[in-house]
Structure 1
Amino acid sequence: MSVMVSKSSPVVVSPAEPRAPAGDVQLSSFDQRIPPFAVTLLLMFDHPIDKPIETIKRALSRALVHYRPVSGRLAGAEHRIACTDEGVPFVGASASCALDLEKVTPALLADLAVAYAGPFCRRADPLLQMQVTEFSCGGFVVGVTWNHVLADGTGMGQFLQAVGELARGMPRPSVVPVRWAAAVRDFPPPTATAERRSLMKPKEKEGRGAFLDITVPSSLIGRVKAQCACTVFEAVAAVLWRCRTRAAVEQPDAPTPLVFPNNVRELFGAQDGYYGNCTIMKSVQATRAQVADGDIRDVVRLIRRGKETLLEAEGSGGAEAGGDLYNRLAVSSWRRIGLDAADFGGGTPARVMWHEDRMVVPECIVCPPWKGKDGVNVQSLCVRLEHAAAFLAELAAI
């Protein structure tokens, strides 16, 4: 049975305490490296709170007093944020059934958030949009879609925790937010910004990817960690990279780069409370044969070497090696960045999910622990429909 989601008309939530114009916020060198693509996350809560839509809308308005750039707009060829207080579009919604964490389809995910017109945000678009959907059981979902130029995952986690604190009655956020370019040391801009943005534009020939909601078992992660003395992320990324390469790449000498973001706040002296972007994308180069046919320990070593050489010259994810963009895999971890720490009054989310309906690049999101589930949850658009069965079979067999 399909789930019916009824949405109210969007309202614009502005800061609860209007102030004199705050001027512009200059984007940091990290912000300027990020194409203005949309990111959607969904926080799923199985414990009810009183009037979640009104409670969260009111808390959002209060949070925007402290996070005024969030209610602004990009300006000046995307080199700054104008603190215009134009606000955040907010939608209240209701679903026709109880919240079932096991049965979340791509169609339902799309109904639980407010989408931008395309995968890239326009300058006049809001920097953030929010939807709160109430389910018949009392559970609710907070869908957040934002322009990545505004914040990385760590910054968005900080913002949502602040909204949660205000929803729970705190007078102000526990972390004082910081959002200006000088709050983090400069990082030289990439030499191929135009190329990077061009590569990330949707390619019609790529077609629609298969949305896969999978679990990498703890037993498999433990086995890889025992062999390689590695982290959970390194183990999961190695498994995904190897299985996906085997399923989707045919030529032994084809470049099959792995790309992953790294939080570098400590390396670049970011001030406490800084919520802009502060990540470096690392591209690890390898061929199909190295990844698909080598020992898993060698695959982990490639990933670890990439982390150790983080500040060395970056690649653009395979284009400089002459590779097909489809052969590249991006893996991002949402674990331990604060997205699962938001609490609007009934506890932290039972599940955190990612939503994207078009495979801009092959991508996997490693999500926070799912309540009551063993293993690591991964949501992905990393293979075309014709490669999905082979990819799942590789995961089952490894």
Structure 2
Amino acid sequence: MELPASPLSFVVRRHAAELISPAAPTPRELKSLSDIDDQQGLRYLMPTIMFYPKNPKMGNTNPASVIREALAKVLVYYHPLAGRIKEGSDRKLMVDCTAEGVMFIEAEANVTLEQFGNMLCPPFPCMEELLCNVPDSGGIIGSPLVRIQVTRLLCGGFIFTSQIFHTMCDGTGGAQFLIALGEMAQGALEPSVSPLWHRELLNARDPPCVTFSHPEYLDAVDIEANHMISATCEMADKSFFFGPAEMSSLRRLVSKNLQTCSNFELITAFLWRSRTIALQPNPEEDTHLMFFVNARGKFNPPIPVGYYGNCIVLPCVVSKAGDICNQSLEHALELVMKAKSIVTEEYVRSTTDLMVVKGRPHFKTDHLTFIVSNVTRCGFNKVNFGWGEAIYGGFPNDDQDLPGVYSVYMPATNDNGESGIVVIIGLPINAMVMFEKELINVI
């Protein structure tokens, strides 16, 4: 089901930006990031947004004041996030734990939560006003690693946004930090999950040994040809809800022997096929599907609970566009399931080794690449600062650095109270019309 975009506009008044440092002394040390952390494709700010209605139990308490104080306390435990990134030889990144602090802005907006609509879903309006946007002099190097803005609303509710450099945390790690921030805001003396650094667990072997093909990453000769859809097209972003009815319609297209597939696999196969049809590519062109997989449980022993670095890999499916368009949904589904199944500890080790051998390359983002990030299980919607859990918690839009390439899956509840998944997708306007027709024909 397509979800309507909000025509809402409003004004945000920001207070002066502040740097919030740890509330107690922290170790001054230089900590290396892992060889998964510092790949080129993760050197950007990962945004999240949470909406909170007024809670009468909190009275007139200012959420910005509560969160500001809690932030200083939680940074004692997550002190590397208060440091600054340095780059060493071979583009290796490390964190100088300077305790300089994270960026924080308090703000007010002349809008109520109700004006955002009954069902909160991306793309959200006026995101440039809701994010803690401050000028950067050097990108990731030497900049605050976390930016937070708390925007109070006329109704007594508020909007919390964060941006964390992806090199520091994946979705699971970022949510762990924000959940801990919420716990401290509620009066906890320490986080319920102790944060662990241990980035050496995801470093390349010595000597490195790449044992899998990794079509998801660019060769040096391909970098100049790596272009995005949005380079020449006017884009449209839309959200679509997949609840019980939509999933039932999709599963009717799948034979018994594939009914063991997960909802993620089925939605991904369907979107990949529909998107490819909508783009009308040359049938002989290669189309790439990539999706982030949390590999914490793939290790023996597993990566320990509390690890908040990147433990994600990006398996890639390559197929001729004509095969994806002309063959059944089951064909695409089988490719997705096979790609997901190859993620093992050895696959992760092969990826880390590739980073060192190939100079920490960027993953593909060309016009026939579709990248999926599933954050339905990360827990952003569980962040609670004392006003209750977020009524929406997740990403605010598709990736603004990779428009038209990236799609994000987030947990949501529709107007009927049914739980499901909201998917945001960006396409050229003409392709979006065709994409929606594909969805209507099936769902």
Instruction: State the TM-score, normalized to the length of structure 1.
Output: 0.88
Paired residue for 1:368, among 403, 411, 418? 411
Contact 2:54/2:155, CA 8 A, preserved across alignment = no
Paired residue for 1:82, among 80, 85, 96? 96
Mapping 1:179-328, distance limit 5 Å: 179-184=197-202, 186=204, 195=220, 205-207=231-233, 209-225=235-251, 227=254, 228-229=258-259, 230-268=261-299, 269-311=302-344, 325-328=366-369
Contact 1:29/1:189, CA 8 A, preserved across alignment = no
Q: Which deviates further from its counterpart, 279-288 or 147-156?
A: 279-288
CA gap 1:206/1:146 in 2 versus in 1, 3 angstroms: farther
CA distance in 2, matches of 1:75, 1:54: 31
CA distance in 2, matches of 1:202, 1:288: 17
CA distance in 2, matches of 1:16, 1:368: 34
Tell whether 2:423 aligns with 1:378: yes
CA gap 1:291/1:41 in 2 versus in 1, 3 angstroms: same
Give secondary structure in 2 for the equivalent of 1:29. coil
Tell whether 2:158 aligns with 1:140: yes
Which letter maps to 2:367? Answer: Y
Deviations 1:249-291 (A, max 9, x none): 3212221110101111122332221100000111111122222
Match of 2:18 in 1: 11
CA RMSD across the alignment: 3.0
Contact 1:128/1:144, CA 8 A, preserved across alignment = yes
Match of 1:319 in 2: none
Structure showing greater Rg? 2
Give secondary structure in 2 for the equivalent of 1:80. strand
CA distance in 1, matches of 2:218, 2:97: 26
CA distance in 2, matches of 1:151, 1:178: 12
CA distance in 1, matches of 2:231, 2:158: 37
Structure 1 residue 83: deviation in Å? 0.6
Which letter maps to 2:106? Answer: G
Give secondary structure in 1 for the equivalent of 2:307. coil
Paired residue for 2:50, among 34, 40, 43? 43
Structure 1 residue 358: deviation in Å? 4.8
CA gap 1:331/1:324 in 2 versus in 1, 3 angstroms: closer
CA gap 1:262/1:189 in 2 versus in 1, 3 angstroms: farther
Give secondary structure in 2 for the equivalent of 1:378. strand
CA gap 1:147/1:201 in 2 versus in 1, 3 angstroms: farther
Q: Which deviates further from its counterpart, 104-113 or 386-395?
A: 104-113
CA gap 1:157/1:81 in 2 versus in 1, 3 angstroms: same
Which letter maps to 2:64? Answer: I
Give secondary structure in 2 for the equivalent of 1:301. helix
CA distance in 2, matches of 1:340, 1:377: 13
Mapping 1:25-104, distance limit 5 Å: 25-33=31-39, 34-48=41-55, 49=58, 50-77=61-88, 78-100=92-114, 101-102=116-117
Which letter maps to 1:221? Answer: M
CA distance in 1, matches of 2:228, 2:325: 27
Structure 1 residue 324: deviation in Å? 8.3
Match of 2:5 in 1: none
Structure 1 residue 194: deviation in Å? 7.2
Structure 1 residue 396: deviation in Å? 2.1
Structure 1 residue 110: deviation in Å? 2.3
Structure 1 residue 113: deviation in Å? 0.9
CA gap 1:115/1:213 in 2 versus in 1, 3 angstroms: farther
Contact 2:36/2:203, CA 8 A, preserved across alignment = no
Match of 1:320 in 2: none
Q: Which deviates further from its counterpart, 198-207 or 293-302?
A: 198-207
Contact 2:124/2:396, CA 8 A, preserved across alignment = no
Structure 1 residue 98: deviation in Å? 0.8
Give secondary structure in 1 for the equivalent of 2:319. coil
Structure 1 residue 127: deviation in Å? 1.0
Structure 1 residue 181: deviation in Å? 1.8
Structure 1 residue 247: deviation in Å? 0.6
Contact 1:132/1:141, CA 8 A, preserved across alignment = yes
Identical-residue share of aligned pairs (%): 25
Q: How many matched pairs?
A: 390
Tell whether 2:192 aligns with 1:174: yes
CA gap 1:162/1:98 in 2 versus in 1, 3 angstroms: same
Which letter maps to 1:66? Answer: Y
Contact 1:354/1:379, CA 8 A, preserved across alignment = no
Structure 1 residues without counterparts, runs of 5 or longer: 317-322
Contact 1:185/1:270, CA 8 A, preserved across alignment = no
Q: Which deviates further from its counterpart, 347-356 or 333-342?
A: 347-356
Deviations 1:282-311 (A, max 9, x none): 111112222222211221111000011225
Which letter maps to 2:87? Answer: G
Structure 1 residue 46: deviation in Å? 2.3
CA gap 1:288/1:203 in 2 versus in 1, 3 angstroms: closer
Paired residue for 1:388, among 403, 407, 432? 432
Deviations 1:55-78 (A, max 9, x none): 111111111000001111111334
Tell whether 2:348 aligns with 1:348: no
Structure 1 residue 330: deviation in Å? 0.5
CA distance in 2, matches of 1:308, 1:395: 27
Contact 2:83/2:96, CA 8 A, preserved across alignment = yes
Deviations 1:64-113 (A, max 9, x none): 00000111111133421111111111011111111144376544222211
Give secondary structure in 2 for the equivalent of 1:289. helix
Instruction: State the TM-score, normalized to the length of structure 2.
Output: 0.80
